[in-house]
Structure 1
Amino acid sequence: MAKRIQFSRHGGPEVLEYLDYKAAEPGPQEVRVRNRAIGLNFIDTYYRSGLYAPPALPSGLGNEGAGEVEALGSEVRHLKVGDRVAYATGPLGAYGELHVLPASHLVRLPDSIGFEQAAALMLKGLTVQYLLRQTYAVQPGQTILWHAAAGGVGLLACQWARALGVQLIGTVSSAEKAALAKAHGAWATIDYSRENVPARVLELTGGAKCPVVYDSVGKDTWEMSLDCVAPRGLLVSFGNASGAVSGVNLGILAQKGSLYVTRPTLGHYASPAERLQAMADELFALAAGDQLRVDIGQRFALADAAKAHEALSSRQTTGSTILLP
């Protein structure tokens, strides 16, 4: 029997259970992976709390991990038992010693990238890739705003923006997190706990505001973010750390400068498999070339997933957090 985390009802971290389970045999186009490291992400808390609905209850949790191929479906040709692989696009169930998932969701892991590094890097790194390179293709010399710049995704965004010649303004909640973001490449930071974010953006951009704002916070920063977007610019809302944005009057977009808004997800960008592998190859190349460094701020045993969720939700974490089976 293997071990995994599952939940039978929605709620806080206390609903997470550490249980025995029998891993399924892979279907014709599936692979069973023995996880060596598992990524923890804010989206996991959304499924646990009920903000996002899992396919059924009880449910496994987690979309991201890295390990070795243990078994193959009959139609899988591009992988073999023992291959080092990583994944970040589900299905749910990564919080386990074993995980069965479609072969098309796996990418080959180069020898230069370790399992812990991959588990900390895949979902966050692919997210930054599609946001900076596809949702809005940022250009050298532009100044952009990124909320929660000292988080796992934010620190990667700081580095990737610097590699692209982009000036990233990052919002943070403390002087310590401001220093961390700057050390990772942020051009400037704004401490939202004591500074007016739109006013500081105006100062930093000479009144021009930003052509694009990236917001993973959601409800608490929605209008603030709109006030930082230049006329005809884009607000990219890609998370709900403070709760979902709701009750939006589209007329506000006209009032604030004929703005655009998008709510993208990784799954719509990382498909088909060839595109996913290409995105991962770009990510791994930057990581191998030291342009992109992932900081693993916390490691928890898989059995302590509830404690990891408590730390993440209370903003006690920096960088990435991983679970170890």
Structure 2
Amino acid sequence: MKKTSINTFIVSSGERFCLVLDKKTGVPLFHPTLYITTQVRNQSDSISTVELVAGAISLFCNFLFDRNIDIEERLRTGKNLAIHEIDALRDYCERKVRLRKSLPYDIQKARLVNSATRHFRLTHIASYLSWLGERLNLKQSNTSEMVERIKQRRPKIKRRSRRYKQDRSLDEKQIASLLEITMPGSTLNPFKNNVQVRNRIIILILYSLGIRSGELLNIRITDINFRDSSLAIRRRADDKADPRIKQPLVKTQERKLSLSAPLVKELHNYITNIRRHFKKSRKHEYLFVTHKSGPTQGMPLSSMAYHKIIDSIRNVAPEVN
């Protein structure tokens, strides 16, 4: 049974925060939320990282609830998690959060998380327990052995080589296929007519400038200089003007990039003839907006919507994966 959940929200300053809540009452759990706020968010980690840590702590709280364990009382009385409980925690961290227990075993096994996720969860659960022991004014030796045992149960992670990163680059044939598929009006284009121009420009920017998705979604109209055909990449963490709770972030240095004449022309067409027709697009300067009718129409394009665009292309052109 899932007793806790996480909630991400924006405060008036524009800063994003994440809380671990009691799912039944909606009240934040004191120590998990204090840990996330003081030890994770205040370390300038991105909200995406904060959410992942909060998810790991929430998972740990659900594990404790399922086994009727009061971890604070156990730590105070010196009764740390036993070896069989730590083993059970390791197994619990292998599960996908939304997995239903009613599913057949073979399906459950196929839906286990990868080793990197298990490593991440156990790492932050161990860090939380170490911090909690200090918070409760316990001797470090009382919890250090338990924390170390949890860390020992983390799976090994294979680091990707430079060669792997090089292999991810598209060759000329793949690029040609990608540009053909995303051409507006193409019979291969998987998108509806009203988003084909926008999605085409997204692909052109990614291909020609080699920028990350966070940089792409962070572009404002004012970042584009049509006089000298350039684009400024800016860092805007916790921007008040960005209504997206999961704010796309620029993780690289600010810089100025040159735009080709055809790309400048397509950008100008999108801004003046397509984007401006969405009412809510006038309330912000972010370049790419949601076209789908509904309450978010005209609002900045979300990371989730961006990944759906990429997935749609991969589905019709697996050769560009």
TM-score, normalised on structure 2? 0.24
Higher helix fraction (1 or 2): 2
Computing the radius of gyration over CA atoms, which structure comes out larger, 1 or 2?
Answer: 2
Higher strand fraction (1 or 2): 1
